Amino acid sequence: MKMRISSYIKNVPSDLGASVVVFLVALPLCLGIALGSNAPLFSGIIAGIVGGIVIGLLSGSQLSVSGPAAGLTAIVAGAIILLPSFESFLLAVVLCGVFQLILGFIKAGVIGDYIPKSVIKGMLAAIGIILIWKQIPHLIGYNSNGGVLATVQLSSESGALVNWGWLTAIAPTALLIGVICLGFQFYWGKLAAKKGGWMKLVPAPLLVVLVGVGINVLMQWQGGGWALRKEHLVAIPAASSAAEFFTFFTLPDWGSIGKYNVWITGVTLALVASLETLLGIEAVDNLDPQKRLTPTNRELKAQGVGNIVSGLIGGLPLTSVIVRSSANVNAGAKTKMSTIFHGVFILLSVALIPTVLGIIPLAALAAILIYTGYKLAQPALFKYFYNKGWDQFLPFVATVVIILFTDLLTGVLAGLAIGLFFSARSNFKTSVLIVNDNNKYLIRLRKDVSILNKRGIKSRLDAVPAHSSVLIDATRADFIDRDIVEMIEVFVAEAPEKNIQVELKASSSKVQGFQRPVLFRSRAKRVNPSFIMANATHNKKVKP
């Protein structure tokens, strides 16, 4: 323990410098994700504070940064529409934390290992498309939380809504800021990748915010009503005293505890947030120069406590987020103190300088989210999975499409089912090898031969013509279903009627039914099936 404390103290300079970078990345993302979720902007700030301080203290990860995640915006936006009030949604966030605590205690940290990559990428791509679609209005200055485009709502009860009123409500300066900020991110991303060095350390979201603020300031100096109106800027409540500051926090509506949709939202948030956290943790561990491993079950517990606290005081749900975590690593962080410091900086900024945050254009935040959505759903990703084959492409596309037309959990479950189908189909095909060469048949049973293989084996055995020879090789099988064993025994017994010569090999003691090594040959007379088991010997031919 003393060594750990001394390590934290030793690395304070590195962690403090990295925390400033993470703070500058996290602040606009907290605001932008709250905006994209149709939630109060202050709820995103609260989530950033809790993710930094609470989860930072409890997590076993030294470099991961938690906060509101773009991957949850689809669920959050749909839930806020579906549930009676934002306070009811906060209750769902609390329940999400409780479920994550349970997952941690039952050691479900391995759950991420069982989700196919195609489904995970499909989920993120769908979220990216939704982010882009929902932020276009804010990019052009039409700041309505309703369905302002022909966008697909996440709740089947709300349905799709077309509202073309935004075409007549475009704010020219907001459009200018949005387009320039969006183009700047693409340019900066390519330039930083090419040049490297200090440019990789400068957070692009911070530059985007500065560009947006700068354009609006120029428009104010220009005069003529070109400056953005108040509704086009970030609105953070400013407190005149500490007592008033604490009134900005919102409590959950405990009266909604019996509502079915609240529980469903809580479960959905817990599953998706846990999955995203486990994937994020794995990615951060790979980036860690010291190659430290994060205890996944402890991480689920830390995330659970964080979400409980966030929901209790009015914040959005939390996950480990790769954008902030990678910025933390690249900025030279050494320990978890960087994460904690960044949470403290967010708290101080909203408590002491809320008026400074109030000059940030919403169009700049929308540009950040649209660029994030593009990174999640870029065309190269679709091409990548297409080139990997239909067994990867179909689960990926199905996950994307079903999420867009239903909801995130349904899409993930559907993609998982399709992925499992292809996996089972692959195992099904490789379990049995059947070769025919001039009436000489080889039937090789490999790995696990289940009842699902029975029909295929039976049809091939029934099709064997008279005066043929058949070798049934089960030496490579670990398990053969008892029904298939009995079917093979019957075939061997009846083979003499068609003058079929059968040789049966089974040398694995693991094979159900063939308890002892077998090498049997059947020729031209009927044999009792029980004779196979009673007279089996290793590498010895038994003639009837």
Please check whether residue 37 is in contact with residue 77, taking contact to mean a CB–CB distance below 8 angstroms.
yes
Q: Give the pLDDT of residue 162.
A: 45
Question: What's the CA gap between 349 and 347, in Å, rounded?
Answer: 6
Q: Which residues 6+ apart lie within 8 Å of 480 measured at CB? A: 445, 449, 474, 511, 512, 513, 514
Q: Are residues 28 and 153 in the same domain?
A: yes
Q: Give the pLDDT of residue 42.
A: 92
Distances (CA, A) of 461 to 378, 442, 443, 531: 50, 11, 9, 20
Question: What's the CA gap between 447 and 477, in Å, rounded?
Answer: 4
* pLDDT per residue rounded down to tens, the chain (544 residues): 555 677 777 888 888 878 887 887 788 889 889 988 889 989 999 999 999 999 999 999 999 999 998 878 888 998 999 999 999 999 999 999 999 999 999 999 887 777 788 887 888 788 788 878 878 888 888 755 433 333 333 333 333 334 555 566 678 899 999 999 999 988 887 887 777 666 766 767 778 889 999 999 999 888 777 888 888 888 777 777 778 888 889 999 999 999 999 999 999 999 989 988 987 787 788 778 888 889 999 999 999 999 999 999 999 999 998 778 877 887 778 899 999 999 999 999 888 888 888 888 888 888 887 887 888 888 999 999 999 888 899 999 999 999 888 766 788 889 888 988 887 776 666 667 778 888 888 888 877 777 777 777 888 888 888 888 988 888 877 778 888 888 888 888 888 888 888 888 875 444 445 544 344 444 433 334 443 333 333 333 333 3
Per-residue burial over 471-507, b if 16 or more Cβ lie within 10 Å, else e, is: bbbbbebeebbeebbeebbebbbbbbeeebbbbbbbb
- Residue-by-residue DSSP string for 415-465: HHHHHHHHHHHHHHHHHEEEEESSSEEEEEEEEEE-GGGHHHHHHHHHTPP
Question: 471: which strand partners?
Answer: 442, 503
Domain boundary among 364, 379, 394: 379
Is the four-CA dihedral 30, 32, 33, 38 of positive or negative sign? positive
CATH label of the domain that carries residue 513: 3.30.750
Domain boundary among 379, 404, 420: 379
Q: Give the pLDDT of residue 43.
A: 94
- Is residue 519 in some structural domain? yes
Question: What's the CA gap between 180 and 134, in Å, rounded?
Answer: 19
Q: Are residues 213 and 333 in the same domain?
A: yes
- Is residue 544 in some structural domain? no
Q: Are residues 375 and 475 in the same domain?
A: no
Q: Are residues 283 and 178 in the same domain?
A: yes
Q: Are residues 151 and 71 in the same domain?
A: yes
Q: What angle do CA 257, 296, 410 make, to 5 degrees?
A: 50
- Is residue 494 in some structural domain? yes
pTM over 0.75: no
Please check whether residue 302 is in contact with residue 338, taking contact to mean a CB–CB distance below 8 angstroms.
no
When computed from its CA atoms, the radius of gyration of the chain, rounded to whole angstroms, is 31
Q: Are residues 375 and 441 in the same domain?
A: no
Task: Name the residue type at position 532.
Answer: I
Nearest CA-CA partner of 32 in 186, 234, 238: 234
- Is residue 149 in some structural domain? yes
Q: Give the pLDDT of residue 152.
A: 32
Question: 440: which strand partners?
Answer: 469
Q: Which residues 6+ apart lie within 8 Å of 426 measured at CB? A: 391
Range of the domain at 287: 2-379
Please check whether residue 215 is in contact with residue 179, taking contact to mean a CB–CB distance below 8 angstroms.
no
Domain boundary among 344, 379, 414: 379
**What domain count does the chain have?**
2
Question: 436: which strand partners?
Answer: 441
Q: Give the pLDDT of residue 97.
A: 97
108 burial level (CB within 10 Å; 0-12, 13-18, 19+) = middle
- Is residue 154 in some structural domain? yes
- Is residue 411 in some structural domain? no
- Is residue 541 in some structural domain? no
Distances (CA, A) of 158 to 87, 92, 146, 162: 20, 19, 11, 12
- Is residue 424 in some structural domain? no
Please check whether residue 77 is in contact with residue 98, taking contact to mean a CB–CB distance below 8 angstroms.
no
* CA-based max dimension of the chain: 106
Q: Are residues 459 and 370 in the same domain?
A: no
Is the four-CA dihedral 489, 490, 493, 496 of positive or negative sign? negative
Q: Which two tokens stand for residue 34?
A: 């709250």
